Chains A and B, each alone.
Chain A
Amino acid sequence: MPASDPAKIAEREEARVARSANREQRVREGLEELRRWLQDIVRQGLPSIRQEPRRFLEMAARMVDAQAPGVARLLRECSTLAASGEEWAERLLHQLAILHLLIESYSRLDSLPEPLQADIRGAIGWTMQLNELNGPGVSDRWLVRGQRMTEEDRLRVQRTWLEGHATKQSALILHFAAGNQPLDRTLVPGTSFDGELVFFPSNTPLRAVVRTRGETFPATACQTLSTFEEALNAYAEALAQNPFLERFPMVLKACRMIGMMDAPQLIDDAGKRIPLARSFGQTAELFTLGGGHPLPLFGEWSGTDFFPLSVLADGRFIAFNPHLAE
Chain B
Amino acid sequence: MTAWQQIVSSAIVGTDRLLLLPSIADPPLLARLPEGEKEAALLSTAAVLSLRRRAGWLPEQAAAEGPDTPAAAEERPGVSRHAARHLKSLLSGEHAVLLPEWLQAADRAGRIVPPELLPRLLAHARQQRFSMESLAAAIGKRGVWLIGRKLEWRLPEPGTDPTVWETGETKERIAWLAAKRLEDPAAARAALEKVIGNESAAVRAEFIGALAAGLSAADEPFLETTLNDKSKEVRKAAASLLCRLPDSRWVERMSGRAHAALRYQPGGLLRSAKLEVLLPESLDNAMKRDGIDPGPYTARKQVGERAAILMLIVAGVPPSRWEQTFGITPAAILKLAKDHEWAEALLSGWAMAAIHSGDAQWAAAILMDENSWPKLLVPLADVASSVPAAEREAFILRALAETRGIVGAAITAITTIAAPTTAAATTEQAEELLARLHPVLKTFDELPESLAAGLLPVVKKLLGGGKPSWTCATIVHELAPRIPLPACPQWIEILGQLSEENSLTRQIQKTAELLVFRTEMHRAIQESDL
Binding site for B on A (CB under 8 A): 35, 38-40, 42-48, 89-90, 93-94, 96-98, 100-101, 104, 228-229, 232, 235-236, 239-240, 243, 258-262, 265, 267-268, 271-275, 284-285, 287-289, 291-293, 303-304, 313, 316, 318
Is the pair B62, A265 in contact by a Cβ cutoff of 8 Å? Answer: yes
| Among B10, B56, B60, B115: residue with most chain A CB under 10 A | B115
> Within 8 Å CB of A289, what residues of B?
115-116
- Please, how many angstroms separate the alpha-carbon atoms of A240 and B46 in the complex? 15
Q: Which of A43, A265, A268 contacts B39 (CB 8 A)?
A: A43
Q: Is the CB of B56 within 8 A of A97?
A: no
In contact, B43 and A38 (Cβ under 8 angstroms) = yes
CA–CA, A40 and B58, complex, Å: 34
* A-facing residues in B107-147 (Cβ within 8 Å): 114-116, 118-120, 142, 145-146
In the assembled complex, which residues on chain A have CB atoms less than 8 Å from the CB atom of B50? Answer: 90, 93-94, 97-98
Question: Is the Cβ of B71 less than 8 Å from the Cβ of A260?
Answer: no
A interface majority secondary structure = helix
- Are B58 and A46 within 8 A (Cβ)? no
Q: Is the CB of A93 within 8 A of B150?
A: no
Whether A292 lies near B145 (C-beta < 8 A) is yes
Residue of B with least CB distance to A102: B47
Contact A100 B40 (CB under 8 A): yes
Residues of B within 8 A of A93 (CB): 7-8, 11, 46, 50
**Which among A46, A98, A273, A293 is the interface contact of B59 at CB below 8 angstroms?**
A273
Distance from A192 Cβ to chain B, minimum over Cβ atoms (Å): 18
Q: Which of A44, A236, A287 contacts B16 (CB 8 A)?
A: A44
29 inter-chain pairs at a CB distance below 8 angstroms, sorted by A residue, are A38-B39, A38-B43, A39-B43, A44-B16, A45-B14, A96-B11, A97-B47, A98-B50, A100-B47, A101-B47, A228-B59, A235-B55, A236-B54, A258-B68, A260-B149, A260-B150, A262-B151, A265-B62, A265-B65, A268-B59, A272-B59, A272-B60, A285-B115, A288-B115, A288-B118, A288-B146, A289-B115, A292-B69, A292-B71
The interface residues of chain A lying within 8 Å CB-to-CB of B43 are 38-39, 42, 96-97, 100-101
Give the distance in Å from the alpha carbon of A313 to the alpha carbon of B114 in the complex: 11
| B residues near A89, Cβ cutoff 8 Å | 8, 11-12
Mark B8-26 against chain A: 1 for CB-CB distance below 8 A, else 0. 1011111111000000000
From residue B45, how far is it (CB to closest CB) to chain A in Å?
8
The answer on a CB contact under 8 Å between B8 and A260 is: no
Give the A-binding residues of B (Cβ under 8 A). 4, 7-8, 10-17, 34, 37, 39-40, 42-44, 46-47, 50-51, 54-62, 64-71, 114-116, 118-120, 142, 145-146, 149-151
Q: Is the beta-carbon distance between B67 and A260 smaller than 8 angstroms?
A: yes
Closest to A108 in B: B34
Q: A39-B39, A259-B68 are in contact. List 8 more A-B contacts (CB 8 A).
A: A43-B15, A94-B50, A236-B56, A288-B142, A291-B142, A304-B54, A316-B114, A318-B116
Known: A289-B115, A291-B142, A318-B116. A273 touches B46 (CB 8 A): no
Residues in chain A near residue B56, CB distance under 8 A? 236
> Complex Cα distance A191/B513, Å?
32
**Which residues on B sit within 8 Å (CB–CB) of A275?**
59
> Is the beta-carbon distance between B62 and A271 smaller than 8 angstroms?
yes
Residues of B within 8 A of A236 (CB): 54-56
Min CB distance A318 to B, Å, is: 6
Whether the Cβ atoms of B54 and A45 lie closer than 8 Å is no
Whether A98 lies near B47 (C-beta < 8 A) is yes
Report the Cα distance A90→B7, complex, angstroms: 9
For residue B34, which residue of chain A has the nearest CB?
A104
Choice from B17, B40, B119 contacting A288 with Cβ under 8 Å: B119
B119 touches A239 (CB 8 A): no
Q: Do B58 and A229 touch across chains, with their CB atoms under 8 A apart? A: yes
Instruction: Give the contacting residue for A90; candidates B8, B14, B59; CB below 8 A.
Output: B8
Report the bound CA distance from A48 to B11 in whole Å: 11
Do residues B61 and A271 form an inter-chain contact, with CB atoms below 8 A? yes
Task: Kindly state the separation between the CA atoms of A96 and B14 in the bound complex, as whole angstroms.
Answer: 14
